[in-house]
């Protein structure tokens, strides 16, 4: 199973939202990382067929998704950034409605909904209106609707936006559970969302892919370049010009503990193990 993005560009009037993107998705969880406005949502909307590329093609198992039509849509699940629902529908009614649109027969649909509600801890609220649920629960309903047709490709756009830490943790856990034998593409601008669950990472900025590869490989690529040091508060401005400071902590008495990326470290610096956040900040130019 393979989803291939081949030299895809999307132009909106004067803006190139996605520029000449080449990607090859295989089984596993793919974290699509990038700042707001990087083009992640546009790319995802093209992958689900909601937008047509201005140039290039998207292939699923060797066929263009436009030629596959419904056959392709039958194999994808999509949770958009702004999960839309009819605020007057109950969780169960909503899932039946979407199931119906996905062409799932009544018996299968009913069984699938019962299973998903159970799996996502929503059985107790199935008769409640979606609008009355918490943000986390709404997102879970969102992922349920995407999972109704047991898709091979699951595309979720900023699924943790607006959730608290605990809900985000639970959501990551759900994604990890359902990702077996699927292509899961998860876009986010929150690095911690994909840090521990993504097998592969794609860094995107200004409509272009700036890095892509296996998570560990990418993170290891900056091994030996991440340091920690304690500096004086007044030195911060000069250091910020010179180094990519990825974190700092006020230690009191005018001292600041900084974590930074450099080829040649400051005196008294300690080499530390890099993490995804370090990698992300070292690559994304817009975040300085």
Partner 1 sequence: MDIFVSELKRQMRAKRFILYILIAIILGGLWAWFIIGGRTEGFMMTGCYKELKGMEAIETAAKDRNIYAGEMTVDNFQRSCEVFLDSIKEKDGESDIIMNDELLKLAVYADTLIMQDYRLKKMFGDDNLDSWFPRDFGSHFYENEELYYQKLIDINTKNQAEKELALKMWNEVEKPYTYYGGFEVWRDGVEHIQIFGFVLLIMVGFFSSGIIAKDKECGLDEIISTTSGGRRKLLFAKLFIPIIMGLLIYTVGMGTYIGILKHFLPANALKTSIQVCGGATILPYSLGDLIGKMILFGTIGVITIAAFTTFVSSKANKASTAMSIAVLMIISGFLLCLKGVSDNSSIMKTISCILPGSVSFAGLWFGMVQIVSIFGKAMLFFKFHLFISILIFFISLMMTSWNYVRR
Q: Which 93-132 positions form the footprint of partner 1 (CB under 8 A)? A: 93, 96-98, 100-103, 106
Q: What is the DSSP string of 31-84?
A: EEE--TTSSHHHHHHHHTTSS--SEEEEEETTEEHHHHTHHHHTTEEEE-SS--
Q: Quick one: which segment of 8-16, 92-100, 163-171, 219-227 binds partner 1 (CB under 8 A)?
A: 92-100
Q: How far is the CB of 74 from partner 1 (least distance, A)?
A: 5
Mask of contacts with partner 1, 70-89, x by CB under 8 A? x--xx-x-x-x-xxxxxxxx
Q: Between 65 and 201, whose beta carbon lies closer to partner 1?
A: 65
Q: Which residues pair with 227 in a beta bridge?
A: 260, 271
Q: In 3D, which of 215, 61, 63 has the Cα closest to residue 152? A: 61
Among 26, 50, 108, 121, binds partner 1 (CB under 8 A): 50
Q: How far is the CB of 166 from partner 1 (least distance, A)?
A: 25
Alpha-carbon span 259 to 18, nearest angstrom: 32
**63 lies in the site for partner 1, by CB under 8 A:** no
Burial of 206 (0-12, 13-18, 19+ CB in 10 A): middle
Binding residues (CB under 8 A) for partner 1: these are 45, 48-50, 52, 70, 73-74, 76, 78, 80, 82-89, 93, 96-98, 100-103, 106, 145, 149
């Amino acid at each position: 199973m393979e989803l291939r993005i081949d030299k895809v560009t999307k132009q909106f009037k004067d803006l190139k939202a996605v520029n000449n993107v080449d990607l090859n998705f295989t089984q596993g969880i793919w974290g699509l990382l990038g700042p707001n406005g990087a083009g992640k949502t546009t790319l995802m909307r093209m992958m689900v067929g909601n937008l047509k590329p201005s140039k290039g093609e998207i292939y699923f198992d060797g066929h263009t998704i436009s030629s596959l039509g419904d056959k392709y849509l039958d194999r994808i699940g999509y949770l958009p950034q702004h999960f839309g629902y009819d605020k007057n529908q109950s969780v169960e009614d909503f899932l039946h409605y979407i199931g119906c649109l996905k062409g799932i027969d009544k018996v299968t649909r009913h069984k699938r909904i019962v299973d998903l509600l159970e799996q996502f801890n929503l059985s107790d609220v199935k008769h409640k209106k979606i609008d009355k649920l918490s943000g986390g629960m709404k997102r879970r309903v969102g992922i349920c609707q995407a999972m109704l047709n047991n898709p091979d490709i699951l595309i979720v756009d900023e699924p943790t936006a607006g959730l608290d830490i605990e809900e985000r943790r639970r959501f990551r856990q759900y994604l990890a559970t359902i990702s077996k034998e699927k292509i899961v593409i998860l876009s986010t601008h929150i690095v911690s969302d994909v840090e521990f669950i993504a097998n592969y990472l794609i860094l995107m900025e200004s409509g272009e892919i700036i890095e892509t590869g296996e998570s560990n490989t990418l993170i290891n690529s900056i091994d030996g370049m991440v340091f920690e040091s304690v500096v004086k508060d007044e030195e911060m401005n000069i250091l910020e010009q010179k180094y990519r400071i990825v974190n700092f902590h006020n230690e009191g008495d005018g001292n600041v503990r900084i974590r930074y990326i450099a080829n040649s470290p400051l005196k008294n610096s300690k080499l530390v193990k890099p993490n995804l956040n370090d990698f992300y900040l070292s690559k994304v130019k817009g975040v300085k």
